[in-house]
Structure 1
């Protein structure tokens, strides 16, 4: 008998678990609350673990055709002086690429639809029941062999089952957006590096990330009380804080998407036949670029574990036991960096931490 799955959320984790289940013969429907599937944010980092997932889903070639791969990671001060440089790929060969969130979403949407996944937009999940029932805002009850909540930090699926253990918001706010790469001076090797720029006096940060041959991803961040974060954004404040980036920062969008660093911890990743994955289960600050990769890896492992099992609740417990330790280590690494974000005087950043190295080398379970 063909098994069925109802997935909540057409993001990276939801589309990954949906595609892998569909490839294995399941009938899969994805519920997306918005009328159109779209990516929030601007750019995104993917390490080898995320790329391995894309390769196994058949989406990697499309992603590699529209990404950027730098030769090193740099730390610089507000005037452009070097504070550290780390090589890419990292020791051992693990790669990191960057691309726009939209390009990654389009690639995952393409393989999902090609594998028969049904995507139902305008379908707002309100709760789930451990017996394998998803309830949506239109009053419908969707019964399945498996229900997956991949519905983000404020997951209705998770909260309806009482799975939230903790949710912390950090006092660091940020805006993320794309600017045309043709605004960027080509001198100084900037095309070849991802760069963190730090203004240590005012505790402000600019992350500078080429995504492809058209788009530069910028993250600008500061303490939540900093006047530089008020909208409409005052470009002059940022230009004064980072004179080396004046040409890039001279025309900021008036009100781009605002976020804060957040971390979510769940009591359990499942209840009965219902699982949570991605930010719903283990959101983390984006300080090591592993949010999407960890979510996609756990999602594909989820699909493979339940597909091989007759007892779905037992399979979900086994999946959590196999994946949670590394995920929590990834969270801890990202949180530790978020708590000690700014470089210290006279301390260079030339080495990848052991934690970041082990995380980057963690790949999906075998088929």
Structure 2
């Protein structure tokens, strides 16, 4: 880069866009973030933060702010409809994998603070209409804004990505999910279960219980896209209570559902073209069965800032180096998560036997946690742990 202050235009104020903005600004870039909505906000749910995401947050100076009030569960468990434990991953003890859960709103708030404290500008109600690979965005009103780097992080349905001709494959996975927050009442679950992260599987339906703070639990309901009797703005409680009798107290507390999102898989032919980089769900959307969508977005964004700020080469060469570094691990995580999601389609008995076997496999556990325990590019190895 030249001796002048380099400038970046970021499209999308989600986890990936805000992380990129903060990381670039902390490395001396001037940064403007454009958010289509009138406010920067998070859809109401919780989020898992593993070592990789915590390492990025530490580098951005907002780790403690993010994890204040977080929940540190003693294990992640998979159970069947009869409440039998099929697999159990101990967490947060000595020598065990570290993971915590927070409200997504808290994470977004911390990333906004990291970006603005570093000098980035966030402009809401600002939508980009097109991107020029030579280094510019065109806003809906016609304004053209030049940049040394353009970051496209505007979600799985990104029109900007599609306009660049980078899309290799975008596939709907045939599963829909409703995400809600409910109060963590003392009678929600038996005391022995209340602090754990629990995923129940019943037929082709799936229910996830995630304590995310002292007062809130994040609940995800997953079913096939064609399972109409299980979906609705008001969930059909009897349907879910029959499927998950041991979680009936959870189901009874679920209020209106804002939307049922369909899981998607996105792969690009390349993550960049010219001076434009694409990251987050726009580049590598994955089903959420590993809890790594946010972590992968943060790793890719942090690695992008490192690649564009360190070492030699043209912008295109730096972007190619970034992709070579970050893409293999994220691609592995995408594929692993997809494979876990396909277990929803396996009949009950063979699935129970398979999950019990996999739960005892060390190689399966290591493969599952490869991204979660990775040290983000540019951090000392000890910082990611």
1:190 maps to which residue?
A: 193
1:38-73 CA-to-partner distances (Å, cap 9, x unmatched) read 112511111110110001001110122131111111
Displacement after TM superposition at 1:222 (Å)? 1.1
| Change over 3 Å in CA distance of 1:90–1:269 after alignment to 2 | farther
1:229-281 CA-to-partner distances (Å, cap 9, x unmatched) read 13332122212222212222113223332112211000101110111011111
- The aligned length equals 365
| Change over 3 Å in CA distance of 1:222–1:183 after alignment to 2 | farther
* SS in structure 1 of the partner of residue 369 of structure 2: helix
Give runs of aligned pairs for residues 247-326 of structure 1, distance below 5 A.
Answer: 247-308=249-310, 309=312, 311-326=314-329
1:303-324 CA-to-partner distances (Å, cap 9, x unmatched) read 0111124521111011111111
* SS in structure 1 of the partner of residue 141 of structure 2: coil
1:165 maps to which residue?
A: 168
2:6 maps to which residue?
A: 3
Contact 2:240 2:251 in 1 (8 A): yes
1:361 maps to which residue?
A: 373
| Change over 3 Å in CA distance of 1:91–1:199 after alignment to 2 | farther
TM-score, structure 2 normalization: 0.90
- Unaligned 5+ residue runs, structure 2? 380-385
1:224 maps to which residue?
A: 225
2:127 maps to which residue?
A: 124
- The answer to which of 40-49 and 144-153 deviates more is 40-49
Contact 2:329 2:370 in 1 (8 A): no
Report whether the alignment pairs 1:154 with 2:157: yes
| Change over 3 Å in CA distance of 1:84–1:327 after alignment to 2 | closer
Report whether the alignment pairs 1:205 with 2:206: yes
Displacement after TM superposition at 1:37 (Å)? 0.7
Report whether the alignment pairs 1:144 with 2:147: yes
Contact 2:271 2:323 in 1 (8 A): yes
- The answer to which of 80-89 and 320-329 deviates more is 80-89
* SS in structure 2 of the partner of residue 6 of structure 1: strand
2:382 maps to which residue?
A: none
2:88 maps to which residue?
A: 85
2:342 maps to which residue?
A: 339
1:109 maps to which residue?
A: 112
Contact 2:296 2:371 in 1 (8 A): no
Contact 2:268 2:283 in 1 (8 A): yes
Structure 1 counterpart of 2:73, from 50, 70, 74: 70
* SS in structure 1 of the partner of residue 72 of structure 2: coil
Structure-1 separation of matches of 2:102 and 2:224: 27
2:359 maps to which residue?
A: 350
Structure-2 separation of matches of 1:179 and 1:221: 17
Contact 2:189 2:249 in 1 (8 A): no
| Change over 3 Å in CA distance of 1:251–1:187 after alignment to 2 | closer
Displacement after TM superposition at 1:183 (Å)? 6.0
Structure-2 separation of matches of 1:115 and 1:269: 26
| Change over 3 Å in CA distance of 1:127–1:209 after alignment to 2 | same
Contact 2:80 2:352 in 1 (8 A): no
Give runs of aligned pairs for residues 25-104 of structure 1, distance below 5 A.
Answer: 25-89=28-92, 93-104=96-107
* SS in structure 1 of the partner of residue 69 of structure 2: coil
Displacement after TM superposition at 1:83 (Å)? 2.4
Contact 1:174 1:229 in 2 (8 A): no
Structure-1 separation of matches of 2:290 and 2:149: 31
- The answer to which of 149-158 and 354-363 deviates more is 354-363
- The answer to which of 247-256 and 181-190 deviates more is 181-190
Report whether the alignment pairs 1:243 with 2:245: yes
- The answer to which of 268-277 and 181-190 deviates more is 181-190
- Give the alignment's Cα RMSD to 1 decimal: 1.8
Structure-2 separation of matches of 1:165 and 1:152: 16
